[in-house]
Amino acid sequence: MLSINSAAFAFSAAPLAGARGARSTIVKMEEVDGVMNRDPETFKAPPPTEFAYGIAGSLPPFENFDPLNMLEGKTKDQVLTWREAELAHGRVGMLAAAGFLVQEKFHPLFSGDGGPAIEQIPKLPVFMWFAMTLGIGIVEAQRVLLGWSNPNEPGHYFQKLRVGYTPGDLGFDPLNLKPEDPAEFREMQNKELQNGRLGMIAAAGFMAQEAASGSTWGTYWGLPDF
């Protein structure tokens, strides 16, 4: 299940690096409770002063990569919302790729039926389907509470992030790895994005290989079980 989500997003992650050639247009503003609000789904944004509003992710060898010009006229709020989606799918992609590498050939804690991962889900006990759904729901609900604004707030619109929320920052840092220095933090953001994008592509590759060959990567290459 996780592998399917990550693969589906792998080909939509690249344009998130930013927008190119954005047009300057009139932006309608309205004041709600003393706060100026803009509906990014209705009105175009002025062109950013920096590529993709200066957020992390524009990396060599594909700097300023937006071949379909998907972010033209998008507000910073929309760009940050898409970045949140990219990070979520990138993290799932990394876990999915690791799962392909580990669980299909090395599973000391449970017995394995073998075969492509996508075919193993129907073989799980029914209660596991409910357990997985419940677990994913709890995690996603917590992410929504941390990152998304309250629908009852003035100026709310669909998928609006909280003011001041950094995409991907869920407050989970048990090893205290988050740097205090802004330059080091941006470098870590870039590293996570690089690995997340690679993870999505890798998971998609595993799925394509299994669909084409009908066997797991280990079986296909004749590797023994551990």
The terminus-to-terminus CA distance of the chain in angstroms comes to 24
Peptide bond into 48 cis (omega under 30): no
> What type of residue sits at position 170?
L
- Predicted confidence at residue 154, as pLDDT, reads 85
Could you give the C-alpha distances from 16 to 20, 55, 164, in angstroms and in order?
11, 10, 20
Buried b / exposed e over 39-73, threshold 16 CB at 10 Å, is bbeeebbeebeebbbebbbbeeeeeebbeeeebeb
What's the number of domains the chain is made of?
A: 1
CA–CA dist 44, 32 (Å, integer) = 19
Domain residues for the domain of 12 are 2-220
- Predicted confidence at residue 71, as pLDDT, reads 87
pLDDT digits (tens, 9 = 90+) for 59-93: 888 888 899 988 888 888 999 999 999 999 999 99
Whether the predicted pLDDT of 165 surpasses 50: yes
The structure's pTM equals 0.72
CA–CA dist 88, 196 (Å, integer) = 9
CA–CA dist 33, 141 (Å, integer) = 28
pLDDT digits (tens, 9 = 90+) for 180-223: 999 999 999 999 999 999 999 999 998 888 888 888 777 766 66
- Tell me if 226 is assigned to some domain: no
pLDDT digits (tens, 9 = 90+) for 17-59: 333 333 333 334 443 333 444 444 444 555 667 888 889 999 8
- Predicted confidence at residue 103, as pLDDT, reads 72
- Tell me if 225 is assigned to some domain: no
